[in-house]
Amino acid sequence: MGSYGMKKIAIIGECMIELNGEPFGLMQQTYGGDTLNTAIYLARATPKSAVEIHYISVMGTDKLSQGMVADWQAEGINTDWVLRDKTRQPGLYLIQLDSLGERTFLYWRNQSAARYLLQHHDYPHILSQLKHMDMIYLSGISLAILPDSDRTLLIQQLTELVKLGVKIAFDSNYRPALWESLQKTQEMYTALLPFVTVALVTFDDEQAIWQDIDEQATIQRLKQSGVRTVVVKSGKHGAIFNDIDGVEQQVPTIPVDNVVDTTSAGDAFNAGFLSGYLQNKPLEICCRQGNQLAGVVIQHKGAIINKSATIHFINQFN
């Protein structure tokens, strides 16, 4: 476990090359991925002396991969556990936006390097080090991209780490196209949820997976499954948390008039929340930080906005 004062979090997932713009028109090339977005915003929102952020993934040895990892290092993320695969490259996705800033995605990721994380010859070393983390964060996408047997193995490994005192934070982030079936999604989530310390879920995802009728149904189901602290994100309506003692509160967000791009809004919320959580702030403050950071991010294009746009936000919190 991390020493007093300095917390350590390991974030498991995939980062892809992002193309943003009009097909056959002007396209901007950058990168993004739900857990990587959270890692970067967490690094920006948190004093370096408070939290050490490790990203766990696999990238290629190509120039794009090298450039992406160098950028993450420049953001203050520890990339020692970003493994390299000489035979595979990162996945690719295209974002298309409508007039209201809502987005649709096209993906090319079936053979991405990150999919084979658990099969990498250096993965056992990472696994041996995870017992020293205070928290491990992953998402539904982190699970979905893995081969089925590797999903089961990862969940088993996480449950062993929980027994050693490591906390698990999980965002159920649901992409139906990545799963063989809804039943498989439910099976994997059901196996993991009893070991989750903090669930950071979006109501729309929970409704799609479990047919929950409202946020209260989501909270009750997750608490019954064994999740200690539940946070349900509801977009412009803010978030509701239910803590380890069952204390519940709605935390409204400040309305944003200039919504440009909702890409990574939930990822940014998670970063703002976890920044507070890892610094032992009250859950209400954690949710307010999440709401505020998401509110900044949706006023700019792309999954990872320019660092200068987050400076004011960061100064508010630290």
- Cβ atoms 111, 87 nearer than 8 A: no
For the chain, give the mean pLDDT: 92
- Domain 7-15+33-90+112-317 is found in CATH 3.40.50.920: no
Query: Domain residue spans in the chain?
Result: 7-15+33-90+112-317
Active site residue 71: no
Please, where are the H alpha helices in 18-147? Answer: 34-45, 63-74, 123-129, 140-144
| Catalytic-labelled residue, pool 134, 171, 261, 267 | 267
Which range among 47-51, 147-151, 181-185 shows the weakest confidence by mean pLDDT?
47-51
Lowest mean pLDDT across 10-14, 96-100, 149-153: 96-100
What does the DSSP 8-state code read for residue 176?
G
Do the Cβ atoms of 62 and 38 come closer than 8 Å?
Answer: no
Residue with the bigger pLDDT between 158 and 254: it is 158
Give the whole-angstrom CA distance, residue 201 versus residue 276. Answer: 17
Q: How far is CA 215 from CA 153, 209, 286, 289, in A?
A: 31, 13, 19, 20
Q: What does the pLDDT read at residue 106?
A: 83
Closest CA relative to residue 130, chosen from 103, 163, 104:
163
**pLDDT for res 26:** 82
> Distance between CA atoms of 283 and 190, rounded to whole angstroms?
25
Q: Cα 124–93–184 angle (5° rounding)?
A: 60
Lateral strand order in the sheet of 103-108: 27-32, 16-21, 92-97, 103-108
Distance CA 301, CA 242 (A): 32
Among the ranges given (62-66, 210-214, 262-266), the one the predictor scored with the smallest mean pLDDT: 262-266
**Which pLDDT band holds residue 3 (cuts at 50, 70, 90)?**
very low
Residue 318 pLDDT exceeds 70: no
Find the range with the poorest average confidence among 116-125, 241-250, 260-269: 260-269
> pLDDT band at 18, cuts 50/70/90?
confident
Residue 308's CB is within 10 A of a number of other CB atoms, namely 7
